[in-house]
Structure formats: structure tokens, C-alpha cells
């Protein structure tokens, strides 16, 4: 099995101390840590950090090959990586050793929460194949419901399997069992994924819909009253139900960008004529080969893309005489190529699927999984997009020396701060600086207070430019560092490998520290006001 898992979460709070200099989130109590690795490493190897306490003085090196997979104990770790198809994003779970998903629908909904979880439109499980297929795919939506299939999800699934199995060939296809039947994705030479989505189901009772059939057994350009407005709709199933509309009865052509999707979408989804609820596609026709669509997905709401919805859209457009059988369908996340072949009646979808990557996702995701029925709990996290896979901060943030940019402050981002936080505060310090009068002591390089609660990041080069950045940034106050100078002061390093700590305090009140803010004054003032802490460690 290829080393293709990007992160892990432990179900126990008793985990061995960690093993690698990396970005850490620590608290006064030991708890598990996971890290989502970026594609800077072409071998797609996992970097996993376990837990330690806030008093831990050092970390130790170990092999990246054994620090993760070889420490697994039963279902103790949840292995996952995040993919997206045109912005429709999913958490992919390696579930090939079990025929049952490793987390419950309720836990999946927690993980999908974009404020208190990892954030996704759904969780997809790669399970063993059945009935002669290579694999089985199951998916839990962000609300915990389970759809039959997902077009964008199956493209992500295909790329995930290729990484898991280390299958790197020019063209690759395999069979997947889904709730909608057999699906056969094929990874093309250019990395796009072409999927044989099978035949569309048009019989009204099988979509299913209670609307009366008006064209053979199908519902084509039928009238549907939603919130007092009559829409023309065509109903199609691509293994999951779709209601496709090009506009209201007697109205002008639909302008999809003008729609209030959050208002109208749920009324279609839960309409009484759809006993299994429905996905709804609102479509604008540019030409017989070019359509634009926005979607309200059953169980997920408005998403950036829907593969089965794009397929259903082209089928409906053909049935209504609005388009040909080969179309480009523009979605908010990008285009999909859809072909409804006349010779075999199958619909073929071609589009991208990518692992979520880039500097933003070189971060720690910390959550503990408690015994059912308790859901997944996600803890706060603190990251810097500039820290590389080895946990190093680049030289340009130093005070002087090769590559230095003279006290350019590094970017810092934070997520999932505790509810009730009114004013985060940040302290950055060198843990290894020598004190001539005693043992090593943390040396402050940056103190930042009175950060507005809606601010979630300090951009690169922020220090000394509060007024220039403007808005809420202008309210932030910088304290003095160990040199008794305001703002960020990068280190002058006698040697490489010095440990740096970024600590974010989530406070229940603003810090009133006078004109001269110091680390010592802040640490004294926050007593009794700390709702939570997040710590990020790196090396210069």
C-alpha cells in the first residue's frame, strides 16, 4: 500500500509522545494531533504528530514510514485525505479493511462542519468491492444523510484509490459498487477523470417523483408549484433524484446568478412530490452545447459543483430540445464535459479531481473521537502557511543574514477559536536563546494584542503596518519584543535549528495594558480570562 494517507485522528487521549520536528498544537492536557500534508512532497507521505504536554521541552526524530501506519491499533486512527472536484470537497477515508464505515453519520456531519470541523460537503469511504467489483464507495453528506452516489465524489474516489494503490499509469480504470449501481471511472492521461455514469432513469416512479408522467413514462417540462410560483421541471435520476428547471412557466430564460438559492433550494428539496427528497438544478442555456447550472444538493445545500446534477442537466436539456448530447456545463467551481451517447444510452462525465493542497493546508487538525453516541469534537488550531513539511520557518523572516528581509513578520492563521472569544492575543518566542544570567529562557520576538474576534489571520509583513492594512487590522496593538522594540524582530541566529513557539490566547475580554505592552504584562493580565490556547512550534 502506498504511503498515501495525509492525516490521522486518534480515539484515545493516551498517545505516545511525538517524534518529529513539526507544527504542533499543544495544551496542558495531552491529546492527539493530526496533520494534513501538502503536495510539496511528491511521494505523498504522511507526516503525523502525536501528543505531548505543554511542558514538553523537545521532540525526537523517527522514521516517517513508521510514525503513522505502524503505530495504528485497530480502529484507533482515522486515515483520511481531502479532495475536491471543482470545489465540491470531500473527506476521503481509507476503509478497505472493513465493509462498514469507520465513523457514524453523526460523526461525519461533525467533521463536515466548516466552523467546528474539518469542513467538507461529505465524507466518502473506500470499502472492499462486492459482487465482483474492485471497490465499494459510500458517502455521508454534510447533514449525515447517505445518498446513492455522487458524481464529483466518484472522481475524487478514483484519484484517491490511485494514490492508495500507487497506481501510476497513463490510463487507469476500475469498477466501483455504489448505491446507484456499477460505476466505472477512468483516469485519463491528463489527470482528468472520465466516468461512465450509466443510463439515466426517466420513469417517474423510479426517479422517484409523484408528478404525473407526461412523455411516455417520464416527467418532461412538467409544471410544479413551489411557494406559489409555477416552474417547468424535468425529472431525471442518475442513481439519485434530480429536478431540473430552465425557468418559470411563461417567464424569461433563467438567469441563474440572480437566484437566491438558499431560499428556493430547500423548498424544492423537501417538496411533497419528491418522496426521497431531490437535488435541484437551475439551468441557463448559452448555446446548444454550452449550459450554466447552479445546484441545490439534497443533504448538502448549495455546492460549487455536482457531477450527477450536470449529467441530469444535459439529459433534461436534450429531452426539452434545448441542447445536443455533447455539452460543456459551467458550474460555480468550473466546467464539466457531459456526453449522453445515443448508441448505448450511457452518460459520460469528464472533469478534474484534485487533492486539496497548497500552503494553506500544511496545518494541524486536532480532534478527539469519543465513544458513540458522542460526536467528534474538533479543537482549535494555529498554523503558518510558510512553515514547510519539515517544520522550518524560512530564513527571510530573520533579522539579518543570508536571505533575510529585515524583520518581515511571518503569516499566521487560526481556526475554531472557542465561542465567546472577544480578543485573541499572540506571543512568539525563541525557546532556545541563552540567558547570560541563568538557564535558557523564552525570548519574545513578537507580542500582539487586542486582535478583533473576526480577524482570523495576520498577513505576511503585517508588523508595523496596522494602519496600512486598515479596517479591523487598525485596531490591533503590537507590544515590544526582547530588544524592547515594537513589532516583530526576527532572530539573529548563531546556529540553525532554534525552536520557535507561536502561542495564541483566546481571551474573553480585551487586554488593557497601557502604552507599553510586554509579554510579561500580557501573561499576567490574561490570568482568569483564557478560554483556550493553541500553540504552533517550528524551527529556524
Residues with active-site annotation: 150, 306
Neighbours of 188 (CB within 10 A): 13
Contacts of 57 (CB under 8 A, 6+ apart): none
Contacts of 265 (CB under 8 A, 6+ apart): 280, 296, 301, 302
CA-based nearest residue to 334, from 356, 311, 310: 310
Taking the C-alpha atoms of residue 200 and residue 347, their distance in angstroms, rounded to an integer, is 7
Instruction: State the residue for C-alpha cell 417520464.
Output: 218
| Burial 224-256, CB ≥16 within 10 A → b, else e | bebeeeebbbbbbbbbbbbbbbbbeeeeeebeb
Pairing of strands 477-478, 423-430: unpaired
SS3 state of residue 498: coil
Helix residue ranges per DSSP H, 241-395:
261-269, 307-319
342, 325 contact by CB (below 8 A): yes
Cα-Cα end-to-end distance for the chain: 34
Neighbours of 304 (CB within 10 A): 18
| Burial 400-424, CB ≥16 within 10 A → b, else e | eeeebeebbbbbbbbbbbeeebebb
- Give 337's DSSP letter: E
Q: Which helix (H) or strand (E) holds 477?
A: strand 477-478
349, 197 contact by CB (below 8 A): yes
440, 485 contact by CB (below 8 A): no
Q: What are the angstrom distances between the C-alpha of 469 and each of 351, 406, 472, 474, 511?
A: 39, 19, 9, 7, 21
Neighbours of 456 (CB within 10 A): 14
157, 176 contact by CB (below 8 A): yes
- Give 9's DSSP letter: E
The gap from C-alpha 181 to its chain's centroid, in whole angstroms, comes to 27
For the chain, the residue count is: 540
Radius of gyration of the chain measured on its C-alpha atoms: 26
DSSP per-residue codes, 40-101: TSTT---------BTT--------TTTSSGGG--TTSEEEEEEEEETTEEEEEEE-TT-SS-
Amino acid at each position: 500500500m502506498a504511503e498515501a494517507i495525509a492525516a490521522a485522528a486518534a480515539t484515545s487521549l493516551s498517545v505516545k509522545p511525538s517524534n518529529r520536528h513539526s507544527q504542533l498544537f499543544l495544551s496542558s492536557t495531552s491529546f492527539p494531533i493530526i496533520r494534513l500534508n501538502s503536495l510539496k512532497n511528491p511521494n505523498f507521505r504522511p507526516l503525523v504528530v502525536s501528543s505531548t504536554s505543554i511542558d514538553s521541552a523537545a521532540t525526537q526524530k523517527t522514521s516517517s514510514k513508521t510514525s503513522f501506519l505502524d503505530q495504528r491499533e485497530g480502529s484507533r486512527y482515522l486515515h483520511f485525505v481531502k479532495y475536491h472536484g471543482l470545489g465540491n470537497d470531500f473527506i476521503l477515508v481509507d476503509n478497505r479493511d472493513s465493509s462498514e464505515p469507520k465513523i457514524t453519520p453523526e460523526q461525519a456531519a461533525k467533521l463536515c462542519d466548516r466552523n467546528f470541523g474539518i469542513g467538507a460537503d461529505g465524507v466518502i469511504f473506500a470499502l472492499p468491492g462486492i459482487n465482483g467489483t474492485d471497490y465499494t464507495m459510500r458517502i455521508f453528506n454534510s447533514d449525515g444523510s447517505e445518498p446513492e452516489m455522487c458524481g464529483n465524489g466518484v472522481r475524487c474516489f478514483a484519484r484517491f484509490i490511485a494514490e492508495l494503490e500507487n497506481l501510476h499509469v497513463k490510463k487507469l480504470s476500475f469498477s466501483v459498487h455504489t448505491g446507484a449501481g456499477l460505476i466505472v471511472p477512468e483516469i485519463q492521461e491528463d489527470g482528468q477523470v472520465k466516468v461512465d455514469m450509466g443510463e439515466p432513469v426517466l420513469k417517474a416512479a423510479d426517479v422517484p417523483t409523484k408528478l404525473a408522467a407526461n412523455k411516455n413514462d417520464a416527467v418532461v417540462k412538467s409544471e410544479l408549484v413551489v411557494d406559489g410560483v409555477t416552474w417547468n421541471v424535468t425529472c431525471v435520476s442518475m442513481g439519485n433524484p434530480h429536478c431540473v428547471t430552465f425557468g418559470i412557466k411563461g417567464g424569461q430564460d433563467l438567469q441563474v446568478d440572480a437566484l437566491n438559492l438558499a431560499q428556493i433550494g430547500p423548498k424544492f428539496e423537501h417538496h411533497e412530490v419528491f418522496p426521497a427528497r431531490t437535488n435541484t438544478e437551475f439551468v441557463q442555456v448559452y448555446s446548444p452545447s454550452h449550459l450554466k447550472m447552479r445546484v441545490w444538493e439534497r443533504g448538502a445545500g448549495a455546492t460549487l459543483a455536482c457531477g450527477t446534477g450536470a449529467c441530469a442537466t444535459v439529459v433534461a436539456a436534450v429531452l426539452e430540445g434545448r441542447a445536443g448530447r455533447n455539452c460543456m456545463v459551467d458550474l460555480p467551481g468550473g466546467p464539466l464535459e457531459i456526453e449522453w451517447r445515443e448508441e448505448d444510452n450511457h452518460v459520460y462525465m469528464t472533469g478534474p479531481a484534485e487533492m486539496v493542497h497548497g500552503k494553506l493546508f500544511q496545518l494541524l487538525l486536532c480532534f478527539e473521537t469519543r465513544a458513540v453516541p458522542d460526536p467528534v469534537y474538533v479543537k482549535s488550531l494555529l498554523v503558518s502557511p510558510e512553515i514547510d513539511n519539515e517544520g522550518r520557518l524560512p530564513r527571510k523572516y530573520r533579522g539579518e543574514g543570508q536571505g533575510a528581509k529585515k524583520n518581515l513578520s511571518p503569516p499566521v492563521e487560526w481556526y475554531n477559536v472557542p465561542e465567546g472569544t472577544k480578543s485573541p492575543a499572540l506571543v512568539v518566542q525563541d525557546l532556545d536563546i541563552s540567558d547570560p544570567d541563568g538557564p535558557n529562557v523564552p525570548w519574545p520576538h513578537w507580542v500582539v494584542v487586542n486582535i478583533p474576534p473576526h480577524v482570523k489571520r495576520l498577513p505576511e509583513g503585517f508588523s508595523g503596518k496596522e494602519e496600512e492594512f486598515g479596517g479591523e487590522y487598525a485596531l490591533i496593538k503590537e507590544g515590544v519584543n526582547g530588544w524592547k522594540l515594537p513589532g516583530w524582530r526576527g532572530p539573529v541566529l548563531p546556529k540553525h535549528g532554534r525552536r520557535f513557539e507561536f502561542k495564541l490566547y483566546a481571551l474573553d475580554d480585551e487586554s488593557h495594558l497601557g502604552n507599553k505592552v510586554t509579554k510579561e504584562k500580557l501573561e499576567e493580565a490574561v490570568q482568569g480570562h483564557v478560554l483556550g490556547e493553541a500553540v504552533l512550534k517550528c524551527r529556524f
